[in-house]
């Protein structure tokens, strides 16, 4: 009996992974249960046995990616103990490396947002929001240590940092921009963090 249960869980996970790639390519509405079953190598009847609807499968993808993200990068106090540059480098490089290795979920998030489905919003609330809060906390700590007032609202600055990472990976994976594509992820991450923490010059001073 335990063997059958494990086999069922493995089959469900295989269906989720196959569906993720197909939804990312075609979008939710354009993807049929027949094409989902074909991509997963199962019959439609077996697909419905594991997931009674496309929306249930969509939810399973969300739950799978949240678990996967939490295991890959736990958002705990140990991250805050890193020095500023190490903290931001760790996050930037981790996120970029994961998207570079497999951009299917990034594409799915974009499609979800554009198509008006709630997967992107729910993932941001369950996972991305926690990461942004952690970044904002780190920025407040930095300002307190330097004994300065935050020059930018920390929650806003956290979203700017996140947006920089997203922009880099869109250029690298979607638009195939030449400079970003040929540069190593380590170098890109270091450049991004340097610009974010230090800037390219002092505000209010003309070159």
171 and 151 in a common domain: yes
Domain assignment of residue 67, yes or no:
no
- pLDDT tens across 1-58, in order? 343 444 678 999 999 999 999 999 998 889 999 999 999 999 999 999 999 999 999 9
CATH of the domain at 24: 1.10.10.60
104 and 201 in a common domain: yes
Helices and strands, number each (H, E), in the chain: 12, 0
194 and 94 in a common domain: yes
CATH of the domain at 162: 1.10.357
166 and 81 in a common domain: yes
161 and 96 in a common domain: yes
Domain assignment of residue 26, yes or no:
yes
The H-or-E segment that residue 30 falls in is: none
128 and 49 in a common domain: no
Domain assignment of residue 33, yes or no:
yes
- Overall number of domains in the chain: 2
Q: What is the pLDDT of residue 3?
A: 38
Write down the pTM of the prediction.
Answer: 0.86
- pLDDT tens across 63-121, in order? 999 999 999 999 999 999 999 999 999 999 999 999 999 999 999 999 888 888 888 88
Supply the range of the domain harboring residue 194: 73-207
DSSP string, 2-15: HHHHHHHHHHHHHH
Contacting residues for 149 by C-beta, under 8 A, at least 6 apart: 143
53 and 104 in a common domain: no
Q: What is the pLDDT of residue 121?
A: 86
- pLDDT tens across 47-70, in order? 999 999 999 999 999 999 999 999
DSSP string, 140-199: HHHHHHHT---SS-HHHHHHHHHHHHHHHHIIIIIS--HHHHHS-HHHHHHHHHHHHHH-
């Amino acid at each position: 009996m335990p063997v059958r249960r494990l086999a069922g869980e493995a089959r469900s996970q295989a269906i989720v992974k196959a569906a993720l790639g197909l939804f990312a390519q075609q979008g939710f509405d354009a993807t049929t249960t027949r094409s989902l079953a074909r991509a997963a190598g199962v019959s439609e009847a077996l697909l419905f046995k594991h997931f009674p609807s496309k929306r249930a499968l969509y939810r399973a993808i969300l739950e799978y990616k949240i678990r996967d993200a939490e295991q890959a990068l736990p958002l705990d106090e140990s991250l805050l103990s890193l020095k500023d540059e190490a903290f931001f480098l760790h996050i930037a490089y981790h996120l970029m490396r994961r998207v570079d290795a497999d951009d299917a979920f990034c594409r799915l998030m974009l499609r979800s947002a554009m198509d008006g489905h709630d997967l992107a919003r729910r993932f941001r609330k369950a996972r991305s929001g926690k990461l942004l809060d952690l970044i904002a906390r780190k920025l407040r700590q930095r300002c307190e240590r330097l004994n300065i007032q935050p020059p930018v609202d920390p929650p806003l600055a956290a979203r700017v940092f996140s947006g920089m990472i997203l922009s880099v990976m869109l250029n690298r994976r979607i638009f195939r921009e030449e400079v970003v594509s040929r540069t190593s992820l380590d170098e890109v991450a270091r450049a991004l963090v340097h610009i974010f923490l230090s800037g390219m010059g002092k505000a209010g001073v003309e070159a």
